[in-house]
Structure 1
Amino acid sequence: MQLLVSIFHLFIYALLFMGSVLQLGCASTPSQLQFEANAITNSGWWNLSHSDSNDMCSLIDIRCNDAGSVTRITFKYSRRPIQLSTLNLSAFKNLEQLEVVKSSLNGTIPSEIGNLSNLRLLNLSHNSLQDEIPSSLGNLSKLTYLYLSHNFLQDEIPQSLGNLSKLTYLDLSYNSLQDEIPPSLGNLSKLTSLDLSYNSLQDEIPPSLGNLSKLTFLVLSYNSLVGKIPPSLGNLSKLTSLDLSYNSLQDEIPPSLGNLSKLTYLDLSYNSLQDEIPPSLGNLSKLTYLVLSYNSLQDEIPPSLENLSKLTYLDLSHNSLQDEIPPSLGNLSKLTYLDLSYNSLQDEIPPSLGNLSKLTYLVLSYNSLQDEIPPSLGNLSKLTYLDFSHNSLQDEIPPSLGNLSKLTHLDLSYNSLQDEIPPSLGNLSKLTYLVLSYNSLQDEIPPSLGNLSKLTYLDLSHNSLQDEIPPSLGNLSKLTYLVLSYNSLVGKIPPSLGNLSKLTHLDLSHNSLQDEIPPSLGNLSKLTYLYLSNNFLQGEIPSSLGYPTIHYLDLSFNNLNGPIPNGVRPYALMGNKGVCSNSTNIQIEYQFQPCSVNQKKRRQLVIILSITIFLILAFLLLLCLRHIRISIKSKHARITETSKNGDLFCIWNYDGSIAYEDIITVIEDFDLKYCIGTGAYGSVYRAQLPTGKIVAVKKLHGFEAEVPTFDESFRNEAKVLSEIKHRHIVKLHGFCLHKRIMFLIYEYMEKGSLFSVLFDDMEAMELDWKRRVNIVKGTAHALSYLHHDCVPPIVHRDISASNVLLNSKWEPTISDFGTARFINLDSSNRTIVAGTIGYIAPGKLFMFFSTFIYL
């Protein structure tokens, strides 16, 4: 009996010894340890000799068990290219962790890696591995962590990965993996994190992923996934983060996602999701981040979103959402980011948004919002970014916006805002971007804007701003972009603008600015765009303006004089009657006068003559005053008399009463400073009437009156033009036919002629192909109307870029009917040739010259 007990004890000891041997593995033998040492030495990963390999466990990258066998290899941040194929993986039978991260690892993942049966962690991320993921990885039954992200792996994800029953983390992101997501991944019952983002995965999301009951993190973004979002994802009760953005997912957002009670992060942006936002999303009480932007979602914003009390980030932009902005969004007290732009939202901006005290970013642009901007928004003390552009907002800009002391970006452009710019905006000391363009703002530019010391971008164009440009704008030392065009600004350009040393773009065009161009603008060494066209600027052109300092210059249609400075292109000075050039070609093309041989002597002569004339006028002042009084009385008498004799002055289709004296007074008896263009049959003047309306007055050249038939033709033409009703033919408001003067009154076209736009580099860039095609189509429709719908038909005979005018919406209108004639089908006048050379058929032009030579 005792012998049997002894034998039993020996058996137990043997079992314990064998267990120890199995635990230590094959590496417990000296030959196996040497096998591992040789594998490390021969790999070339470490700078070791064979004598050093005996102490391999002392290396910082290697860990061994008690028997000296390698259990962990951690190789990180090596700049020397290495490959897995040089490391004999079959030598490491006890290896549990293999981490080679950011180590310039290239080549392929060898299939032998699937023989490391004890491997629990495999991390080969942030390298340059290529080709496919070996299916042998599915043999690593003990694997819990698998990281292969940030490589160049291709082909499909192996189905065999679904065999890794102990896997908890799987990251294959930032590769070039293709084909479908294997449905077998739904077998990974212990998986808590799955990241397959930034690949080229296709097909549908497998519904089997809804079986991953322990999953907390699911990211499939930046792929090419299609189909619908599986409703089974609503079964992932432990999910905290779901990102399916940047795919091509379609159909509706499954209402079952509202069951994800632990979800804190949801991003479905940049897909093709449709239908409504499910109200069930309001059940996600722990949600802090919700992004559904860049889809095709419709209907209203569900009021149930007010239940998301922990929400800090909400982006529903670039959809087709309708109806109003729910006032209940004002209850989301933790919200810091709100973007509802690029939708079809209507009605007013809820004043309750002023309760979002933590809000830093608010964008509602590109909607159809109406009514006023709520003054309550002035309570958003942490707001840094505010954009309400491209809506239909009305009334005034609330002065309370001046309380937003942290605001850096303010854009209210393309609305219908009125009244003045609040001076309180000058309190926004951190503002860098301010755009209020395309509104109906009036009054002056507040001098307080000069306090915005950090401002880099200021655009107040396309309003009705008046008075002078405040010199305080010269204090904006960081300003790079300043646009005040298309307003009613007067006075002179402040010399202080020459202090804006960082300015690259300055546009003051289409105003009523006077006096000379300040020489200080020549100090702006970084200025590349300068637009001062369509003003009443006088004097000579500063020599410092021009190429190469300024690449885009437009001083056209002013009252500038003197020679063209070096580096200034002639087309930039069109419409300036006093500009001269000694080039015959330039004189003909731009209607400039020739310069005298000695400009200095000419200026001296002008000064002497001016002084002489001044003395004579001073001496005759009393006589002149008396003469003027008599002349005024005589003028009224003549006007009365000519009216009785049949002279005609008529205004129709215009609001308000306009008298002959109104027209003459506002343009100072056709003073050249109001002239904005000259054609073959007359000159055009810009007239701002006492009512504030702006019209174009075309004064016909006097020689036309000498033609006996002109009186009858003029009356007939004015009568017919008054009856023309076409959107692409300039509207005639009235005319005056008098023995001394004849003029027509047309609607004013803000953009000027197509010719001037094409020669303005900046505006030509805005004139994209779509707008150009619309201009051609509009012009063709107008000509068709004249030729086929008018009785008798009308032939314009001078269609050119100079006679096609553009309004503020880039819509064309045909003007200048000085050469137009009414066609009598039985008359021979159909053979008469008229028009601008360059716009006449070559055959007609040849016939014209032949006739001329014959005569």
Structure 2
Amino acid sequence: MGALRKKPCLPDLQVDAAARHDGGGVSLRSQQAALLRWKSATGSPPALDSRRRQTSPCNWTGVDYNSLRGEIPPALTSLSALSYLDLTGNLLHGPIPADIGNLGRLEQYLGLSFNNLTGRIPASLGNLTMLVDFAIHQNMITGPIPEELGRLNNLDLESFEISSTMVTGGIPESLGNLTKLNLLYLYSNHLSGPIPPSLGNLRGLGDLQLANNHLSGEIPFVGSIPREIGDMRNLNNLWIHGTQVSGSIPATFRNLTSLRKLSLFDNMLSGRPLPPEFANLTDLVELSLLNNSLSGELPPDVCKGMNLQVFNVANNMFTGPIPRSLKTCQSLEMLFIAYNQITGDISDFGPYPHLIDANLESNNLHGHLSKAWGLSTNLTSLAMAENMITGSLPSEFSSLVNLGRLVLHSNNLTGGIPPACTLPYLYQLTLARNQLSGHVPSEFGRMKNLQYLDLSWNKLSGSIPNELGNCTKLQSLKLSHNNLSGELPMTIGNLGDLQIVLDVSDNKLTGRLPAQLGNLAMLELLNFSHNQFDGIIPSSFASMVSLTTLDVSYINLEGPLPVGRLFRDASIAWPAKCSSTAVREHHKGRIQVMVLSISIPMCVAIILAIFGLIMILHKRKQPQNDIAVDRRDVFSVWNFDGKLAFEDIIDATENFSDGYIVGSGGYGTVYKAHLQGGQLVAVKKLHPLEEEMGDEKRFLSEIEVLTKIRHRIYEYIDRGNLHVTLENEELAKELDWKRRAAIARDVAQAIYYLHHECNPPIIHRDITSANILLDASSKAYVSDFGIARILKPDSSNWTFFSVELSYTSVVTTKCDVYSFGVVVLETVMGRYPREVQSVASSMGQYCKDAMGLLDQHSSSPTVVEKEEIALLVEVAFSCLQTSPQSRPPMKDVYQKLVHQHLTLEERADP
């Protein structure tokens, strides 16, 4: 999260030359021997050669090799004259030796960051009272922070860093004794409890970062904290986001005149508004208060210093006008005031020459869109939906050549859509629920990156342009509730990526439905209703296997229904006890009203849930000549009898008794069952949650999609998942680098199959290490595909989701690609990459330092393995690109990994 110390290329050990004059008799020979024992214990290259044995250890200022591995040896603690110890960025594991606390001359720097150290922080480190800089960043340290570290009261240089570890407990009160401290980093840990008031004593502090913990209570800069807290005039950065702190923002913050970054988002702050004196913080560059319950008006002069770059107060309860200084704050790069109750006229906004992202959605703003927006040529996203904005769309928007997202729905915009608004990088254009008139510009066909187009609920007229068929990346197209006329262009059938919705309802469209629409194999929702179409439903529509809802009500169609599940189920009567609501009305062979909105009964859905959305693991095939057994065989497609198999599962699990549970998640419980005939299977019973299971049409579609997958039949896999394996030290040691690379290829192959070999493509939506199973030989299998398709995007089960979900809540194959990148990094690092976004932002440096990311539980990689690991890291970061369009398709990822693996194998076996 915070600024990290640059990792040195070399571990550095400096011996205090004053030791040779020490009356205590510190032996140079003993120091030399200790260093050589250290060198031997690390198993590193022979940097300390025989010539060093012949020179004075007083001249040994450093050790010229890196990638130290193993545990920190006890021999190191014999270096009683050591003054500086930096082991940053190596492959060290095991505990921190408590005897390091006996290195009384260690007075400059103790750096243990970027390793894989475990265990607790020794309380004896508090004995190093002469130390000036202390860092244990990014390790697997556990347990509490010792109170004894409060004795390190000479820390007056750069930092006290214990961040990105697994330490627990509270922040020690004793840290308030470090009154000379300039930088305190405790972010991304598992700390809990209140922030101790004693931190108010750190008046010389320049950077305080406590983000991403489980802290609670009020920010302790009011009440019992002395008013002198305002004397912390050196504080530059204050980060306490992602905790559970409550209360109001202290008025004393106005005295922090050196503050540049204040980050308090994702907390439970509430109460009075920001004090007007915030205008005194003229050096403020970033103010982030997102996701709290703050109220009142925003300070009018918040950008008085004209240095403000990030202003984020979204999702609070702020009222009153937009601060006047924000309207002309030319330094702004990010402006987020969405989801408040802010009022005011936006007509005089801008210009913002450096603005990149602006979100003003869901407020009470009025006025018109200024032409000055056209000067914000760096803008990539502009959202002002759900306000009261009037006027027309400025033609000056054509200058926003970097714009990717324009969201202006639910306003009172009038006039036409300027053809000049066809921007090359635009991927989302939402203008719904306005009063726009005129034609849909044919120039839209030039927007090759457009994925989401919503022009519904306007007054648009004329025909739908054929050129829309050139927008081949479209996933959602909504043109409903307009006055569009003419025929539906057959070129719409070219939109092979269209998967969410095609809605042209409530228009004046005529003619026949194009047979080419049958090419839309990924489409889920299709609405033609309330138009003047005639003719038949093309037989090609039977190929739309992803379709869950087809609405052709209030149009004149005739002729037979296409052959297909969707149409077949619409023309049969469900048993009364299952309450089917499918409707048919025939009159002399002419279909007057047909709403194919198929509702599948829950009684059937529960049975299908048990058999359709499970990973069935096979032990052995059954004899083909036993018909009775065949009908119970869950692996038999042709003779399978669901009722008999269901009875077998009930018997085998004793009516889903807890004794048969082998796993459980947020959406279901997995049971182990020995069926009749000796089959050993894993059965997943979904929880009957109304929210997720209410749309039974969609549920049945998932069943059909899963039946089209060419399943391989596996033996029962009992080793566990990748997440558990990496967390377990002994199991992780068994995963050498060859096996880890193979796991990445296995997972890539599975996702490649779902995306590129299945028709229609399947989006997993929940690729995590917990959903990757390993067999006895560590071969990886991706589980729970299909189930994720009925989960909501905001589900708490999501481990880490891609950036675009925060904009659109729409899942694409590129979300799976992003998740794959996270899994690859976790496989390489041996732990979940909690700061994956910040890591991805500096991927060039991390790719260069790939060896510094390695899991220390595994052995040191060979030269060939290092090449393969470097490619894995490079591929992972390419998958973590912020822009979905920049991420590679899984086909390319899989082929790249396989190609390099084969190349390296050929080199190893000439």
Normalising by the smaller structure, the TM-score range is 0.5 to 0.7
Matches within 5 A, 1:106-121: 106-119=93-106, 120-121=108-109
Give, in whole Å, the separation in 1 of the partners of 2:83 and 2:407. Answer: 58
Change in 2 beyond 3 A, CA 1:588/1:244: closer
Change in 2 beyond 3 A, CA 1:573/1:589: closer
The alpha carbon displacement at 1:116 in A equals 1.2
Please say if residues 70 and 94 of structure 1, whose CA atoms lie closer than 8 Å, have aligned partners that are also in contact.
Answer: no
The alpha carbon displacement at 1:548 in A equals 5.8
The alpha carbon displacement at 1:674 in A equals 8.2
Give, in whole Å, the separation in 2 of the partners of 1:163 and 1:466. Answer: 76
Matches within 5 A, 1:288-437: 288-349=285-346, 351-426=347-422, 428-437=423-432
Structure 2 letter corresponding to 1:504: Q
What residue is the counterpart of 2:79 in the other structure?
92
Please say if residues 407 and 430 of structure 1, whose CA atoms lie closer than 8 Å, have aligned partners that are also in contact.
Answer: yes
What residue is the counterpart of 1:193 in the other structure?
183
Structure 2 letter corresponding to 1:211: N
What residue is the counterpart of 2:198 in the other structure?
208
What residue is the counterpart of 2:123 in the other structure?
135
What residue is the counterpart of 2:132 in the other structure?
144
The alpha carbon displacement at 1:421 in A equals 2.7
With 438-447 and 157-166 compared, the bigger mean Cα shift is at 438-447
What residue is the counterpart of 2:480 in the other structure?
485
Structure 2 letter corresponding to 1:292: L
What residue is the counterpart of 1:45 in the other structure?
43
Structure 1 letter corresponding to 2:178: L
Deviations 1:42-95 (A, max 9, x none): x253367xxx9773848xxxxx994458665687435x5x122x4423322222
Please say if residues 571 and 590 of structure 1, whose CA atoms lie closer than 8 Å, have aligned partners that are also in contact.
Answer: no
Change in 2 beyond 3 A, CA 1:674/1:162: same
Deviations 1:547-586 (A, max 9, x none): 56443351432322222223251278789xxxxxxxxx99
Deviations 1:496-546 (A, max 9, x none): 223334333422233332211112223445545433344332223222223
What residue is the counterpart of 1:259 in the other structure?
255
Please say if residues 294 and 319 of structure 1, whose CA atoms lie closer than 8 Å, have aligned partners that are also in contact.
Answer: yes
Change in 2 beyond 3 A, CA 1:760/1:399: farther
What residue is the counterpart of 2:452 in the other structure?
457
**How many pairs align?**
575
Q: Determine whether 1:503 maps to 2:498.
A: yes
What residue is the counterpart of 1:162 in the other structure?
150
The alpha carbon displacement at 1:384 in A equals 2.0
Matches within 5 A, 1:692-711: none
Structure 2 letter corresponding to 1:319: N
Select which of 244, 250, 254 maps to 1:248: 244
Q: Determine whether 1:26 maps to 2:14.
A: no
Please say if residues 77 and 101 of structure 1, whose CA atoms lie closer than 8 Å, have aligned partners that are also in contact.
Answer: no
SS in 2 for 1:442: strand
- What is the TM-score when the length of structure 1 is the normalising length? 0.61
Change in 2 beyond 3 A, CA 1:163/1:75: farther
Give, in whole Å, the separation in 1 of the partners of 2:695 and 2:243. Answer: 42
Give, in whole Å, the separation in 1 of the partners of 2:392 and 2:698. Answer: 35
Please say if residues 486 and 511 of structure 1, whose CA atoms lie closer than 8 Å, have aligned partners that are also in contact.
Answer: yes
Give, in whole Å, the separation in 1 of the partners of 2:175 and 2:64. Answer: 28
The alpha carbon displacement at 1:188 in A equals 1.9
Deviations 1:203-250 (A, max 9, x none): 332333233343222111111222224155432211211111112222
Give, in whole Å, the separation in 2 of the partners of 1:69 and 1:83. Answer: 26
Unpaired runs of 5+ residues, structure 2, are 1-16, 223-227, 573-578, 597-693, 703-788, 793-910
Please say if residues 72 and 96 of structure 1, whose CA atoms lie closer than 8 Å, have aligned partners that are also in contact.
Answer: no
Give, in whole Å, the separation in 2 of the partners of 1:28 and 1:203. Answer: 48
Deviations 1:241-282 (A, max 9, x none): 111111222222122222222222111111222210111211
Matches within 5 A, 1:700-849: 761=698
Matches within 5 A, 1:611-690: none
SS in 2 for 1:462: coil
Give, in whole Å, the separation in 2 of the partners of 1:471 and 1:441. Answer: 20
Deviations 1:751-773 (A, max 9, x none): xxxxxx9786499999999xxxx
The alpha carbon displacement at 1:358 in A equals 2.3
What residue is the counterpart of 1:183 in the other structure?
173
Q: Determine whether 1:513 maps to 2:536.
A: no
Deviations 1:365-399 (A, max 9, x none): 01122343334433433322110112233343344
The alpha carbon displacement at 1:492 in A equals 0.9
Please say if residues 584 and 593 of structure 2, whose CA atoms lie closer than 8 Å, have aligned partners that are also in contact.
Answer: no
SS in 1 for 2:318: coil
Please say if residues 554 and 573 of structure 1, whose CA atoms lie closer than 8 Å, have aligned partners that are also in contact.
Answer: no
Structure 2 letter corresponding to 1:289: E
Please say if residues 218 and 245 of structure 2, whose CA atoms lie closer than 8 Å, have aligned partners that are also in contact.
Answer: yes
Give, in whole Å, the separation in 1 of the partners of 2:187 and 2:122. Answer: 20
Deviations 1:653-702 (A, max 9, x none): xxxxxxxxxxxxxxxxxxx8986889xxxxxxxxxxxxxxxxxxxxxxxx
Give, in whole Å, the separation in 2 of the partners of 1:91 and 1:179. Answer: 32
Give, in whole Å, the separation in 1 of the partners of 2:568 and 2:376. Answer: 49
Select which of 533, 536, 539 maps to 2:535: 539
- What is the TM-score when the length of structure 2 is the normalising length? 0.58
Give, in whole Å, the separation in 2 of the partners of 1:541 and 1:93. Answer: 87
Give, in whole Å, the separation in 1 of the partners of 2:321 and 2:207. Answer: 34
Structure 2 letter corresponding to 1:176: M
The alpha carbon displacement at 1:464 in A equals 3.3
SS in 1 for 2:421: helix
SS in 2 for 1:353: coil
Give, in whole Å, the separation in 2 of the partners of 1:103 and 1:286. Answer: 38
Q: Determine whether 1:565 maps to 2:562.
A: yes
SS in 1 for 2:192: coil
Please say if residues 72 and 98 of structure 1, whose CA atoms lie closer than 8 Å, have aligned partners that are also in contact.
Answer: no
Please say if residues 558 and 591 of structure 2, whose CA atoms lie closer than 8 Å, have aligned partners that are also in contact.
Answer: no
What residue is the counterpart of 1:235 in the other structure?
231
Give, in whole Å, the separation in 2 of the partners of 1:541 and 1:107. Answer: 68
Give, in whole Å, the separation in 2 of the partners of 1:162 and 1:758. Answer: 57
Change in 2 beyond 3 A, CA 1:495/1:547: closer
Deviations 1:9-62 (A, max 9, x none): xxxxxxxx9984329962423x55335433542x253367xxx9773848xxxx
Change in 2 beyond 3 A, CA 1:114/1:473: same
Change in 2 beyond 3 A, CA 1:673/1:154: same
What residue is the counterpart of 1:174 in the other structure?
164
Unpaired runs of 5+ residues, structure 1, are 1-16, 59-63, 576-584, 596-671, 679-756, 770-855
Give, in whole Å, the separation in 2 of the partners of 1:760 and 1:486. Answer: 24
Please say if residues 166 and 190 of structure 2, whose CA atoms lie closer than 8 Å, have aligned partners that are also in contact.
Answer: yes
